Structure 1
């Protein structure tokens, strides 16, 4: 479960301070002029079991692809992945007006595994495939209503132009800098069922 959800925050989770002495000093603080010693509680909650996780209340996760108007050249299958910008904004506005709060994968993980609290009416906005309109249309719309999103990046497409334009590295970094989550959508979106051992190194 965690591989999909937290693949892009692994580096963050692995960042630990090298100042062990400072950490030791912080863990045991003696109040000046008093006899009381304050000891921090570093207890980590026991992770929930699979059964406990499945029993928890679910969080809605919305998945979008292309945020644009349909074109005459779009096939029937493409229509399933396309939503007009005004309709997309109507979705976002409705959720904002209804009191929903966007969350990100690390918050969802902490809720499911460690029982941490989520904001009222949590919801997650996700975007697949690296399409440029996710940066030019979706991100500004989410920001307008106070929401954050999760962008699943297909790395082979970064910076490419053509019938479909894709985000550049700088645009992806900007999304990250604005506290959105950048996650992996593999290298080129092939079917996992067809992967050989070496394919995982390239794809993930």
Structure 2
């Protein structure tokens, strides 16, 4: 298999409806889902409610890329709110809390590969430069933060300087007062002196070490809101803040206290953001190494999707041939490159004439033992893919000839 399929290409998909677990998304010009991550690990045994595997994060980002989402940073939300730019058709905001080292070692390369962007809210006190050489350090360094911030795909926000319950090792307080919430009996002036000093220090350190002109974003520790804090954010020019309650953010009502969806191993992005589309039967004209052919297809969101088995049969015996197996236990398609395909006899069957509403496949496609999230739909028990997506996975070239309205496949 050609090495190029290791890096998935970006395929724009125009979606008529976005379904999340809560229902249909309305008014796409003001609403967007915000995703919340914390730590990443390469060890599946170390996952929990706050930690997912790097592989899962990669598949989350591949799903967003494949289905045409545009990742927004806090500065982008400010521009949209101020009318400087428009909300993209399929917006998403990706956030990380705390400032774990994995944000640089695992997440950052995936963001670069998939074209996604993320906001990282750091606990500034924990970003210790002198610990950069420690093999077991868990926090980012300012050098790593600077590199990410300068890339343009990461924006650094505040998760306080050191008010993430350090006295309880970062865990929830037994007295129920967490993060930046006011202390028992604390006056507003006392709060502003205590918490204001912390926020000032966080902003000063972030701007000093990132090159950012300002800090646009604040993530409430534990999602614990306090109206006194809102006044401080307003005074210090921090325009965007998030909580931890699930829901769709609607920036028409403001940029503060935005809800977020926590992504876990049990709730990946593909399950949260299921795509619902209208599939219209079509016939896709193709050419394989110059030989004309055709494939039954569904027109979905402006693109033709074809059955993976039809493509496997079409390429059987060529240098781009691959095998297709259905893993019923896992509910997923498994492909093996450079392997003979045995036809079932049902390939290239005529599609029913009526249009239908279809949902995206949420399980990954496994290619030579490696899982990838690929734009696909399950229709009538068959998996339908974009030819370009299959080509990227299986190592054959796909080009569009606008003059002849033909998809050219070269093995």
Call closer, same or farther: CA 1:55–1:94 in 2, change over 3 Å.
closer
Aligned Cα RMSD in Å? 2.6
In structure 1, what is the Cα distance between the partners aligned to 2:78 and 2:192?
A: 28
Residue in 2 aligned with 1:155? 124
- The question of 1:66 aligning with 2:39 is answered yes
In structure 1, what is the Cα distance between the partners aligned to 2:29 and 2:61?
A: 25
Residue in 2 aligned with 1:34? none
CA contact (8 A) 2:29 2:88 kept: no
Structure 1 stretches lacking a partner, 5+ long: 1-53
The structural deviation recorded for 1:202 is 3.2
TM-score by length of 2: 0.33
In structure 2, what is the Cα distance between the partners aligned to 1:118 and 1:58?
A: 9
- The question of 1:170 aligning with 2:143 is answered yes
Residue in 2 aligned with 1:187? 161
SS for the counterpart of 1:114 is coil
In structure 2, what is the Cα distance between the partners aligned to 1:103 and 1:114?
A: 15
Max radius of gyration: which structure?
2
Residue in 1 aligned with 2:196? 201
In structure 1, what is the Cα distance between the partners aligned to 2:50 and 2:108?
A: 17
Residue in 1 aligned with 2:345? none
CA contact (8 A) 2:39 2:50 kept: yes
CA contact (8 A) 1:187 1:202 kept: no
> For residues 49-99 of structure 1, what are the alpha-carbon distances to aligned partners after superposition, in whole Å with 9 as ceiling and x for unaligned?
xxxxx9963111111100115686x6xxx8211011111111110110001
CA contact (8 A) 2:39 2:52 kept: yes
The structural deviation recorded for 1:115 is 6.7
Summarize the alignment of residues 47-196 of structure 1 with structure 2, pairs less than 5 Å apart.
57-69=30-42, 79-114=48-83, 116-159=85-128, 160=131, 165-179=138-152, 180-188=154-162, 189-190=164-165, 191-194=179-182, 196=191
- The answer to which structure has the higher helix fraction is 1
Call closer, same or farther: CA 1:194–1:55 in 2, change over 3 Å.
farther
Structure 1 range deviating more: 110-119 or 166-175:
110-119
TM-score by length of 1: 0.64
- The answer to which structure has the higher strand fraction is 2
The structural deviation recorded for 1:172 is 0.5
CA contact (8 A) 1:102 1:124 kept: yes
Structure 2 stretches lacking a partner, 5+ long: 1-26, 166-178, 184-190, 200-411
Call closer, same or farther: CA 1:105–1:63 in 2, change over 3 Å.
same
In structure 2, what is the Cα distance between the partners aligned to 1:114 and 1:59?
A: 16
The structural deviation recorded for 1:110 is 2.2
The structural deviation recorded for 1:164 is 5.6
SS for the counterpart of 1:187 is coil
CA contact (8 A) 2:122 2:160 kept: yes
In structure 2, what is the Cα distance between the partners aligned to 1:116 and 1:71?
A: 40
CA contact (8 A) 2:34 2:95 kept: yes
